[in-house]
Amino acid sequence: MRHLIEITDLTTGELDQLLSLAEDMRSRPDDYRESQRGRILATLFFEPSTRTRLSFESAMLSMGGGVLGFASADSSSTAKGESLQDTIRTVSCYCDVIAMRHPKEGAPLAAVQKATVPVINAGDGGHNHPTQTLTDLMTIRREKGRLDSLTVGLCDDLKFGRTVHSLIAAMSRYPGVRFVLISPPELRLPAYLTQALDDRGIEWASLERMEDALPTLDILYMTRVQRERFFNEADYVRLKDTYVLTPEKMALASPDLRVLHPLPRVNEISPRVDDDPRAVYFDQVRNGRYVRMALITKLLEVGA
Ligand code: NCD
């Protein structure tokens, strides 16, 4: 049985296959309409979500499968004191695959020990978010035609942003990718991740001003400051509006730049940027449904 806890659980060969399947699903959705008939996905969300949970559900429903689950810890027996492992053991009796989001780093790994069906990490604290990375990779591949030889800028909360951590882990496996890390000093990428880049000889630079980076980038990956991970509200308030992407700043960038954002956005991208053809974050949302269809299909194939 296969799970998806970290993006590197998939080889680059498997990733490429999965993205190709997602492309096929996007172009011929009718051919997959009944492909998971009789199968059930459980979405266990111990933390808020709009896109991730609904795209998982939409993915399973688009393939004729069924969905069940909960959207907050308070509406499950967690509120009565049930352990995560007992919840997972229970839910495994009702479904064929589980997608879970949890505020604690490592919770999905603990879940795997009691699960009798595949488990997908839909975000664990400030750690990882591999299915957002699938969405990001599909978007970059569609826009650029490749995943190698790209200069990727990641901007804002690189410390707590789990989508950033998983995207770097995935993209650093493709040759010729360099990273430009744009953040205030307090929100820099954790040292274990920059160390991993150094160990593998991958080129990266760290900057504070987005204006300095913009002209050099192929991809700009914006993120929100992760308020829920801060220990102190005053720090959040001080840092939350450090970066705001505007049409004036976009004028500094290449006509071939693409701007991604996992969403939700708060203030970091002005809505005035939305009509710029280089802003692809809403198409990125659309891709989220097809990569999750592909992932569910692959995990259930192995499990069958
Ligand atoms: C992200 C997350 O939950 O980490 N959202 C998402 O899944 N699309 C990013 C965020 O919440 O800032």
Quick: pLDDT tens for 80-113.
Answer: 999 999 999 999 999 999 999 999 999 999 999 9
User: Which of these, 266, 8, 50, lies nearest to 157 by C-alpha position?
Assistant: 266
Cα 181 to averaged position of ligand 1 atoms, centre (Å): 18
Which atom of ligand 1 is found nearest the CA of 263? 8
Average pLDDT over residues 118-139: 98
Cβ of 263 closer than 6 Å to ligand 1, yes or no, is: yes
Binning pLDDT at 50, 70 and 90, where does residue 60 land? very high
- Average pLDDT of every residue of the chain: 97
Average pLDDT over residues 240-244: 96
pLDDT of 154 reads 98
| pLDDT tens, residue by residue, 136-166 | 999 999 999 999 999 999 999 999 999 999 9
Binning pLDDT at 50, 70 and 90, where does residue 195 land? very high
- Residues in the chain, how many? 304
Pairing of strands 178-182, 151-155: parallel
The dihedrals phi and psi of 3, each to the nearest 5 degrees, come to: -120, 170
Average pLDDT over residues 53-72: 97
Cβ of 132 closer than 6 Å to ligand 1, yes or no, is: yes
- Please indicate whether residue 52 is annotated as part of the active site: yes
Among 2, 8, 26, 51, the one annotated catalytic: 51
User: Which of these, 74, 72, 69, lies nearest to 56 by C-alpha position?
Assistant: 69
Q: Is the pLDDT of residue 304 over 80?
A: no
Cβ of 162 closer than 6 Å to ligand 1, yes or no, is: yes
- Find residue 259's DSSP bridge partners: 220, 279
Which residue from 132, 166, 269, 281 has its CB within 8 A of the most atoms of ligand 1, so it is best to mutate?
132
Distance, in Å, from the CA atom of 128 to the CA atom of 133, rounded to the nearest integer, reads 9
